[in-house]
Amino acid sequence: MISVFVDHKIATQLLDRYGSPLYVYSEKILRERCRDLREAFCGRIKPSYSVKANTNPSLLKIIHEEGLSADAMSPGEIFVLQNSGFSPEDIFYIGNNVSREEMSYCAERGILVSVDSLSQLEQFGKICPGGKVAVRFNPGTGAGHCDKVVTAGHKTKFGVQPEFCPEVKKILERYSLKLTGINQHIGSLFLEPDPYADAAESLLNMISEHFPGLEFIDFGGGFGVPYRPGEKRLDLTELSLIMFDKIDRFLEQYDNKDIHFKCEPGRYISAECGELLGTVHAVKMNYGKCYIGTDIGFNVMMRHVLYNSYHEIEVLSGKKSENGIKEATIVGNICESGDILASDRVIGPVSEGDIISVKNAGAYGYSMASNYNCRLRPAEVLISEDGTVRLIRKADTLESLMANF
């Protein structure tokens, strides 16, 4: 079921006050998703929020209040996390192809670094000899809703091949590094447990053979949410039971019985708590095809352009339109032919001035927004559990476009 928490009346009030387009978040749904994960994994697998999904500090503070730690992919994300209440111990840095300066930034702040290549491990050893480090491995198989989000397997830049375990050990020894953890990530948006569980089993087998004495294992994220009507939710209870069984069998023969386990969901936590509101500014026929022109360009929502992603879209109208439109392609205001929010979608009658709502927009929405075409990024607001609305990020202004010049 697609989460819906903004109706026409509320949407109109919000756009009148904060402008269009506008990201709207629900505190209630955000907290529910954090609790879903903690309850499903019963403390045996600790969820760590993948902050790249949504970096708004107000949302990060709520996630921190719910007891989750966080994974960061850049010094910028670390800076935002620390300013949102996360301590260095709460943050796991999972970079790829990063500079010496980035590694030093983490080391100076006591933040654990994961490296994902032999050369990066060598670089870390030179920077921080005798230090603690984690290594990201590539299990050889990945999963995801399109090739661009598959983060393991034979056609991705991420991770170290298990065949290179001897080389990893040599570099660790050369620089007296302590390997405290191993992590992996196979891809994004799976709704069945098998790919994740199978990759976890492969990782556990590799660790049993090569790496005793670890403090933690991070199985990665990628937990999907139902974007399309009728899609089945990922069954966290089923996933947890399968994972617990694999962990129990692993612990029967692993030397450190106190090792702890992590996962790193991003989308699962923040996607469903967000809706993106926009305004219809044009309805046109072009050689027999109907186009609905909106102010939601791909500078505001990028996923459909990068990944051909699907989002449910609803027309919010205070009047009954009878223009006969049944199917249309919904587009934005960017000067690119690929600026398409949804193609050939059954949408029903729609007119200029109507509001459209893009569902499940809380993950990889604003965090991927840009000023392309010198378009302004929108504001973000939070609907609190008590129903009050709070501005949590101001919209760009024309003046802010010139701020760094």
β-bridge partners, 389: 383
Rounded to the nearest 5 degrees, what angle is found at the Cα of 111, between the Cα atoms of 109 and 117? 125
- Taking CA atoms, 368 is separated from 55, 128, 256, 363, in Å, by 10, 32, 40, 9
Work out the average pLDDT over 343-366: 94
pLDDT at position 273 over 90: yes
Instruction: Give 274-402's CATH code, choosing from 3.40.50.2020, 2.40.37.10, 3.40.50.11740, 1.25.40.10.
Output: 2.40.37.10
Q: Domains of the chain: which residue ranges?
A: 27-271, 274-402
* CA dihedral angle for residue 48, residue 183, residue 77, residue 358, rounded to 10 degrees: -60
- Residues 95-102, mean pLDDT to the nearest whole number: 96
pLDDT digits (tens, 9 = 90+) for 171-198: 999 999 999 999 998 887 889 999 999 9
pTM for the full model?
A: 0.94
Q: What is the pLDDT of residues 190-227, one digit of tens each?
A: 899 999 999 999 999 999 999 999 999 999 999 999 99
Query: Which one-letter amino acid corresponds to residue 81?
Result: L
Q: Report the distance separating Cα 256 and Cα 233, nearest Å.
A: 35
pLDDT value at residue 162:
92
CB 332 within 8 A of CB 369: no
For the domain covering 27-271, report its CATH number: 3.20.20.10
According to the model, what pLDDT value does residue 156 have?
Answer: 82
* Residues taking part in catalysis: 335
* Residue corresponding to tokens 């439109």: 325
Q: Distance between CA 200 and CA 203 in Å, rounded?
A: 5
d(CA 91, CA 112): 7
Contacts of 294 (CB under 8 A, 6+ apart): 21, 278, 279, 280, 281, 330, 331, 332, 333, 341, 356
pLDDT of residue 150: 66
Percent of the chain past pLDDT 70, that is, above it, reads 95
Per-residue confidence (pLDDT) for residue 146, from 0 to 100? 64
Per-residue pLDDT tens over the stretch 103-146:
999 999 999 999 999 999 999 999 999 999 999 999 877 666 66
Token pair 């060598």 is found at 122
Buried b (16+ CB within 10 A) or exposed e, 337-359: eebbbbeebebebbbeebbbbbb
Segment holding 47, helix H or strand E? strand 45-50
**Nearest by Cα to 301 from 271, 265, 325, 268:** 271
3-state secondary structure of 160: strand
**What does the pLDDT read at residue 58?**
98
Phi-psi region of 220 (alpha: psi -120 to 50; beta: other; left: phi over 0): left
How many whole angstroms separate alpha carbon 132 and alpha carbon 124? 10
Give the end-to-end CA distance of the chain in Å, rounded to a whole number.
46
Residue 120 identity (one-letter amino acid): Q
